[in-house]
Structure 1
Amino acid sequence: MTIGVLLGSGERHGQAALRWTMAGLGALDGSWTMRFPAPHGRRTIHRFPFSDQLTLPQTLQIEQAKTGLCLQSRGATMLLAAARHPTVTRVLRHPRVAEALLTLLTRAHLGNDRFAVTVCSGGARASLAGRQQTRATGLVAALTVARLPSMPPGVRHLEQLVDPVDLLTELSRHGFDLELEPDNRGGATTDSGIPL
């Protein structure tokens, strides 16, 4: 399973989110290309230390999951790649440089608030795109909470509790664009046709 996250640099994020992102820049490991919905097209993705790379192989019983990040601006995405070089990582982790960069990122909002997430698994592909990634994240949480009465007790990950196509379809009713391309090659799939 391969997941690509494209974020617009025009959306405002809190300092904690920016610090978390900056901390992950030194852990970028590998790149690939993915196709996002229009107007984004094919983009270079840089592997980013999102936790789903560790959890999804266990929860979905798949061999591997890799997740990467790119930014709306191709130039800014190229700067992400530079952050994986040890010298740049060292400079970015210097307290004064980190604080200056955090201040700049808090104040500067170039671009717009468009985002896209694309997931490819086997021959299937799903993409969700729209504006305000933080709103989409909040809606996923709210839609999940609404389903709590029908969920079993205990600690689980979201992908263990909801059908992804059902959740994404409901999310798309809130102004997001959803593209689903099923796997037509056969093989084992979830109830909604996502390959295992």
Structure 2
Amino acid sequence: MKQDIVVIGGYGHVGGDISKQLGAKFPGKVYAAGRSLERAKQFADQTGGQVKPMAFNLTNWKQEMAFERVKLVVMCMDQTDDAFAQACLRSGTHYVDISAYGPFLTSLERHTEEAAQAQATAVLSVGLAPGVTNLLARKAQQELDQLDSVDIAIMLGLGDQHGKAAIEWTVDSIGSAFSIVENGGVTQTVSFSGGKRTDFGKELGSRMAYRFPFSDQQSLPRTLKVPTVSTRLCFDSGAVTRLVAWIRATGLFRLLKVKWIRSAAVSSFGMMRFGSDGYAVKVDGWGTKNGARKHVQYLVDGSHEAAATAKVATAVATAVYEGGLPGGVFHTEQLFELVKSGKGKIALQAAAGITKRPQIIEGLRYDSWE
């Protein structure tokens, strides 16, 4: 009987929080999986038995995964090959992925018919960005008669503790080329180019943010049929944001391909502890309502970006594990929406036509204005 939940990367920076939160909800059914059984055991011991350890290596998944016991896999590691995810879906195992690598997520969409036939649900774009960003874009679409363009901006606090994998992805993405959709057509842009000032509200003020290859800007034109979507990134320190943009503009980012320089850059970002531990996600939507042009704005902020990602992922994983969702491959905004739950609080609620109890997401503050 399928009842196990396997969190791959389940003792890492974000995966550890997800494992603990799911373990509290479904004690004894959650496995924190990773290459090191010893690290998995040390982590599981801290949960008092709510989470169990598992040795798992993605390169040997055919020998290591017993799909007949696993009801849900939560993937907290970056991948470029979709073979494992496809195997999950073919076996009827549900799948939730928190990664932000657009090409990989796009490749998974091709397996939606296989998933539907096996009655397996896959949910992509799960977390803060992508994830909350997608859900706020959905709110903009619901508010307007027609949504023409969406600007997404993410601000990260340098005083926060970020996982090594996230730091490596950020460093490796500086100056990288990626695809975006503008006016319905696909075009190329470069990371940390195209600076644009974003209003993050009264408390945080406005910041200059730069293009960054988050996957939401590649999936939203397909899921919400928005002609233009852009996602930008900044840090709570304007000086550091400008420095990274300057490194990109001068071409110095090419030095990051040198192994020791890259390692030094990753270490430097990891050791930074000035600034705040806060984050903010801002979505601006432009379109029409009742024949008039309208601009809507949504903001979610809080402390500890990794913890926020884990909370959203746990809410999605819980809904998937409890059943009742359609089979297929979906992005978060295709199955869920954000709703207010008390003053400034938000909950994850299934989209219209799907009966599910709302999942309260603690610690995320929500605001909107026009």
TM-score computed with the length of structure 1 as normaliser: 0.85
Cα deviation, residue 141, structure 1: 0.7
Percent identical: 31
Post-superposition Cα deviations, 1:107-163, rounded to whole Å, max 9, x if no partner, equal: 232212111000011211110011111111111111112222232111111111101
The one-letter code matched in structure 1 to 2:165 is: A
The aligned counterpart of 1:125 is 297
Q: Report which structure shows greater RCO (CA 8 Å, sep ≥6).
A: 1
Q: Using the TM superposition, name which of 2-11 and 96-105 deviates more.
A: 96-105
Cα deviation, residue 166, structure 1: 5.8
Partners of 1:166 and 1:158 lie apart in 2 by 17
Q: Give yes or no for the alignment of 1:56 onto 2:233.
A: no
Post-superposition Cα deviations, 1:45-97, rounded to whole Å, max 9, x if no partner, equal: 10111111111100111101100001001101111211322521112222121
Q: Is the 8 A contact 1:28 1:49 kept in 2?
A: no
1:47 to 178, 190, 211: 211
Q: Give yes or no for the alignment of 1:22 onto 2:171.
A: yes
The aligned counterpart of 2:315 is 143
The aligned counterpart of 1:65 is 229
Partners of 2:202 and 2:173 lie apart in 1 by 28
Partner of 1:150, secondary structure, is: coil
Q: Is the 8 A contact 1:43 1:70 kept in 2?
A: yes
1:31 to 1:38, Cα distance in 2 relative to 1, 3 A:
same
Post-superposition Cα deviations, 1:10-53, rounded to whole Å, max 9, x if no partner, equal: 11122211110001111223111111034211111101111111
The one-letter code matched in structure 2 to 1:39 is: E
Partners of 1:67 and 1:173 lie apart in 2 by 23
The one-letter code matched in structure 1 to 2:206 is: R
Determine which structure has more spread, i.e. the larger CA radius of gyration: 2
The aligned counterpart of 1:100 is 264
Unaligned runs of 5+ in 2: 1-149, 176-190, 287-294, 349-359
Unaligned runs of 5+ in 1: 183-196
The one-letter code matched in structure 2 to 1:113 is: D
2:326 to 152, 165, 168: 152
The one-letter code matched in structure 1 to 2:309 is: T
Partners of 2:338 and 2:224 lie apart in 1 by 12
1:22 to 1:74, Cα distance in 2 relative to 1, 3 A:
same
Cα deviation, residue 181, structure 1: 2.5
Partners of 2:361 and 2:226 lie apart in 1 by 30
The aligned counterpart of 1:163 is 337
Cα deviation, residue 164, structure 1: 3.4
Runs of 4+ in 1 over 4 A off after TM superposition: none
Tell me how many residue pairs correspond in the alignment.
182
Partner of 2:210, secondary structure, is: strand
Higher strand share: 2
